[in-house]
Amino acid sequence: MAYLIGIDVGTSATKALLIDPDGRVVASASADYPVSRPKPGWSEQAPDLWWTAAVASVRGVLKTAGIAGDQVGGVGLAGQMHGSVFLDRRDRVVRPCILWNDQRTAAECAEIETRVGRKRLLRIACNPALTGFTAPKILWLRANEPRRFDRVSKVLLPKDYVRLRMTGEYATDVSDASGTLLLDVPKRRWSKEILRRLDLDESLLPTCVESPEVTGRVTAAAAADLGLAPGTPVVGGGGDNAASAVGNGVVRAGVVFSSIGTSGVVFAHSAEVHTDPAGRVHTFCHAVPGAWHVMGVVLAAGGSLQWYRNQLAQAEVAEAKRRGCDAYDVITEQAVQAPPGSEGLLFLPYLTGERTPHADPFARGAWVGLTARHTRAHLAQAVIEGATFAMRDSYEIITGMGIPVRQIIATGGGARSALWRQVQADVYGRSVVTLETAEGPSLGAALLAGVGTGVWRTVPQACRAAVRIDTRTRPVRRNVTRYARLYETYVSLYPALKDTFHALAAV
């Protein structure tokens, strides 16, 4: 029996997942690492952390499953998108990777839209220039650290640095490459026009392939580290959201996932290229060959509740430690005591700026409507509701583009909370389902490895084998009505506060 491994290079941890040829999860393991924030708005990571964590997690699943490395028939990679790994000619890291949620590149985004033209950029890359994307980071390095830029021979995305360490090959896939702003998304290849207009050489970029395509094989040196057999094939894989879509069965029209992790994502499959003329949502290549997806991103969805836990919920953390449970369980137990709508308290989750729909690195978080009656339960409930309202912004844009929605799959950390599932159902006004295996990107990467190595013929066939519904949460009608009114107020707050946010950011 040939097993498959999916490796997800995340922002806070790398996870490995082992599945059997029937798509059943056999074992999983992960290893954590920190994010560095050397200046306000900056977010960086040392790429070597990912490799060390990949080695630990792969060895962990092999040990847990009790199998030998030569029983693994293929490996798929998923990972955080947009990060820029700068390598010299000897594949040494030139500087720490600038991550997806880094906000330093506002000037470079303006430069890109000037050089390429906003309309032309939307036509080719299907996205505006945003601070999180890779191309602005390359221009930032050129403008601000020219000596380092002069040493750069290759620019890789995070998961593709792990691929390089595994196989010695420079490669990426079309879904992850879509987030660089350097890909011709309709044509699924690097854009010579954008590269020319930005004075960047295509030799900086890796080979770009479809997600199930084999990109290389595990080298003898990497095999010794990982515990795998030399020659094990490694497929293209996908950006974390596209891979998560595969892991959640979002590979056909009408299916959407709503993922709440550190960030929040609303992701819709599309058989055609749909682009928002205002550039408020992303249009990327899907990990399904010949398909695309439309995606809205909230930078601090679950991240807002994480901030609340770390900064304001010391009592709940202590209670969780005493009870031997997760602090989030204690927080949501408290939050559910507040009524839907938090008695008129709204929260804006713009703690690290915002992407969809505002594309504003200077947006700031806020509670609005505080009164002496509000308690910690209201504060926590408002954070959950505010993050979900931000997700609805993306949902409204996607449905407004004529993309059908027949099923919403809740995934990520937010899907583990019964309260957050109910809030999503009530805010969206339709049922949300969860799946038996809530593994997301790592499962998707493993399924892509199965397609690439012939276990399944197509990506949808792999999903039919592995993806099954577990729970269904239906909306409560009175809550839907209440949230619809509150959402109207919520969407009025950013325009009213935008100038204030920008003034505060300048202080």
Q: Write out the chain's pLDDT in tens, 507 residues.
A: 699 999 999 999 999 999 999 999 999 999 999 999 999 889 999 999 999 999 999 999 999 999 999 999 999 999 999 999 999 999 999 999 999 989 899 999 999 999 999 999 999 999 999 898 999 999 999 999 999 999 999 999 999 999 999 999 999 999 999 999 999 999 999 999 999 999 999 999 999 999 999 999 999 999 999 999 999 999 999 999 899 999 999 999 898 999 998 889 999 999 999 999 888 999 999 999 999 999 999 999 999 999 999 999 999 999 999 999 999 999 999 999 999 999 999 999 999 999 899 989 899 999 999 999 999 999 999 999 999 999 999 999 999 999 989 999 999 888 999 999 999 999 999 999 999 877 789 999 999 999 999 999 999 999 999 988 999 999 999 999 999 999 999 999 999 999 999 999 988
Cβ atoms of 414 and 265 closer than 8 Å: no
pLDDT in the model for residue 473: 97
Q: Looking at 190, 218, 240, which one is the last position of a domain? A: 240
Q: Residue 319: inside a domain, yes or no? A: yes
Helix axes 314-323, 327-335, angle to 10 degrees: 120
CATH of the domain at 18: 3.30.420.40
Q: Are residues 220 and 347 in the same domain?
A: no
Q: Are residues 487 and 365 in the same domain?
A: yes
Question: Distance (Å, rounded) from C-alpha 5 to C-alpha 442?
Answer: 8
Q: Are residues 358 and 216 in the same domain?
A: no
Residue 181's closest CA among 140, 144, 132?
132
Q: Are residues 43 and 184 in the same domain?
A: yes
Number of domain units in the chain:
2
Question: Distance (Å, rounded) from C-alpha 123 to C-alpha 319?
Answer: 53
Structural domain containing residue 9: 3-240
pLDDT in the model for residue 438: 74
Q: Are residues 213 and 335 in the same domain?
A: no
Can 199 be counted among the known catalytic residues?
A: no
pTM over 0.85: yes
Q: Residue 375: inside a domain, yes or no? A: yes
Tokens of 154: 């290759």
Question: Distance (Å, rounded) from C-alpha 15 to C-alpha 444?
Answer: 12
Residue 436's closest CA among 464, 466, 412, 400?
466
Cβ atoms of 171 and 233 closer than 8 Å: no
Q: Are residues 179 and 309 in the same domain?
A: no
Q: Which of 8, 102, 176, 240 is catalytic?
A: 240
Q: Residue 290: inside a domain, yes or no? A: no
> Hey, CA dihedral for 308, 313, 317, 323, is it positive or negative?
negative
Instruction: Count the neighbouring beta carbons within 10 Å of the beta carbon of residue 71.
Output: 14
Cβ atoms of 416 and 470 closer than 8 Å: no
Residue 175's closest CA among 405, 441, 358, 461?
441
Q: Are residues 197 and 329 in the same domain?
A: no
Identify the DSSP state of 430.
S
Residue 349's closest CA among 299, 407, 280?
299
Q: Looking at 240, 256, 288, which one is the last position of a domain? A: 240
Q: Residue 265: inside a domain, yes or no? A: no
Q: Are residues 308 and 220 in the same domain?
A: no
- How far lies 230's CA from each of 133, 227, 370, 434, in Å? 34, 9, 60, 37
Q: Residue 282: inside a domain, yes or no? A: no
Q: Looking at 189, 222, 240, which one is the last position of a domain? A: 240
Q: Are residues 72 and 201 in the same domain?
A: yes
pLDDT in the model for residue 1: 65
Q: Which helix (H) or strand (E) holds 316?
A: helix 314-323
Residue 504's closest CA among 167, 40, 62?
40
Could you list the beta-strand ranges (E) of 148-281: 154-156, 171-173, 183-184, 189-190, 207-209, 214-217, 233-235, 238-239, 254-260, 264-270
Tokens of 45: 């990571």
Residue 415's closest CA among 286, 265, 282?
265
Which residue do the tokens 């969805």 mark?
Answer: 301
Residue 287's closest CA among 7, 77, 506?
77
β-strand partners of 472: 433
Q: Residue 245: inside a domain, yes or no? A: no
Q: Residue 264: inside a domain, yes or no? A: no
Q: Are residues 66 and 169 in the same domain?
A: yes
Q: Residue 175: inside a domain, yes or no? A: yes
Q: Are residues 226 and 323 in the same domain?
A: no
Tokens of 380: 């926590």
- In angstroms, how far is the first alpha carbon of the chain from the final one? 61
Which residue do the tokens 């919920």 mark?
Answer: 313
225 Cβ contact list (under 8 Å, min separation 6): 55
Q: Are residues 232 and 308 in the same domain?
A: no
Residue type, 140: W
